[in-house]
Amino acid sequence: MRSRAPHRLAIFVVVALCLSPAAVSAQQNWTVPRTPAGQPDLQGVWANNTATPLERPAAFEGKDALTDEELAIYQARAAALRDSEQAGNLLGDLLIQQVLEDPNFREFDPGTGNYNSFWLVERELDNRTSLIVDPPDGRIPTVTEAAHERRRNQPRPTGGRADSHERRSLLDRCISYGVPNLLAGYNAYFQIAQSADHVVIYQELIHDARVIPIDGTPHLNQSIRQLHGDSRGRWEGDTLVVETTNYSSRGSYRGATDNVRVVERFTRIAPETVTYEVTFEDPDTWAQPWTLMIPLKQSAEPIFEYACHEGNYAIAGILAGARAEEAAADPR
């Protein structure tokens, strides 16, 4: 097993980059609040509105942090895009692609205006050049030959995406965006509730709630597979550690197998900041485990009902429109 010491040092450096000098000063005179059970209090609504890309862009190769001067330039470009009605898709890492004028940028849906600033909250850029902190190059590790082979041998679906609701993705059908959800700026709010023996993590996107035992309850039998896996939590000092296994094949992340192991770490480091660290481990997919860190910021706003639901009625419209087009093309 690889040593976690360099990894923990990287997290420490990342935390320093995410906090302003005033926040660092306030943190020095602050102690973690605790629940009646004596556990660190993580309760409240927390937002992932970072604009830092998941992987380090080629333009930042070999550079794990921006200077304050560079950061100011990119923040100004991001603000201009945010304020422009003509901006392209700003969802996910597409914002930073446009900030960097990446030639590989591709619009998501220019016909309907994309997911521009109308759909997204204001997002924050900090000095970091990637969310990934391990490996040190800020990139997802090399995909294994076994993973390549799986993709080559994956059955190709027949017919069109409008032939059946089952041909649409879980996202289209408003069933799931997956766990963990790493999408920033778009319904990226989480509410945490705690008792002495359970933690509930409720995410705004498709209103998924994870009820996680922290009382030593063992994982489900390996034969029981679930879309969001089977999560069990524990406290390591002041850090909540959640380990998730038993994913179903439909709930895999970035092509991982259903044997992927995901470890999440929640640490409240300041009154309004929780570091959210996620490690993915699947030897059949990646050459090594990889870890990212997102600073979650406390929100005074409540979580609102997500306007999407299982059996999204828009699916009926999509299928009906396709049938109408077919009938018009063949009027017999």
SS (H, E, C) 254-313: CCCCCCCEEEEEEEEEECCEEEEEEEEECCCCECCCEEEEEEEEECCCCCCCCCCCCCCH
Note the pLDDT of residue 87: 66
Say how far apart CA 211 and CA 80 lie, in whole Å. 41
Say how far apart CA 200 and CA 190 lie, in whole Å. 10
Say how far apart CA 24 and CA 322 lie, in whole Å. 56
Least confident of 9-13, 37-41, 64-68: 9-13
pLDDT-based confidence at 98, cuts 50/70/90?
A: confident
Dihedral angle sign, alpha carbons of residues 176, 181, 184, 185: positive
Mean pLDDT of 110-134: 81
9, pLDDT greater than 50: no
Note the pLDDT of residue 220: 96
> 271-318 pLDDT, tens per residue?
999 999 999 999 999 999 999 999 999 999 899 888 776 556 778 888
pTM: 0.86
User: Across-strand partners of 65?
Assistant: 128
**In the numeric block, which tokens belong to residue 242?**
């959640």
**In the numeric block, which tokens belong to residue 299?**
């929100």
Say how far apart CA 71 and CA 233 lie, in whole Å. 37
Mean pLDDT of 25-41: 87
When mean pLDDT is compared over 5-14, 159-168, 274-283, the highest value belongs to 274-283
User: Across-strand partners of 240?
Assistant: 235, 266
Note the pLDDT of residue 2: 39
**In the numeric block, which tokens belong to residue 180?**
């963990």
Angle at 224 between CA 223 and CA 225, to 5 degrees: 110
110, pLDDT greater than 60: no
Output phi, psi for 88, to 5 deg: -80, -160
Maximum Cα–Cα distance across the chain: 78
**In the numeric block, which tokens belong to residue 168?**
């649409």
113, pLDDT greater than 60: no
Least confident of 144-153, 266-275, 300-309: 300-309
Say how far apart CA 264 and CA 180 lie, in whole Å. 9
What is the C-alpha end-to-end distance of the chain, expressed in Å?
A: 67
- DSSP label of 318: H
Express as a percent the part of the chain with pLDDT over 90. 52
Mean pLDDT, the chain, rounded, equals 86
Say how far apart CA 245 and CA 263 lie, in whole Å. 9
- DSSP label of 156: P
Note the pLDDT of residue 3: 43
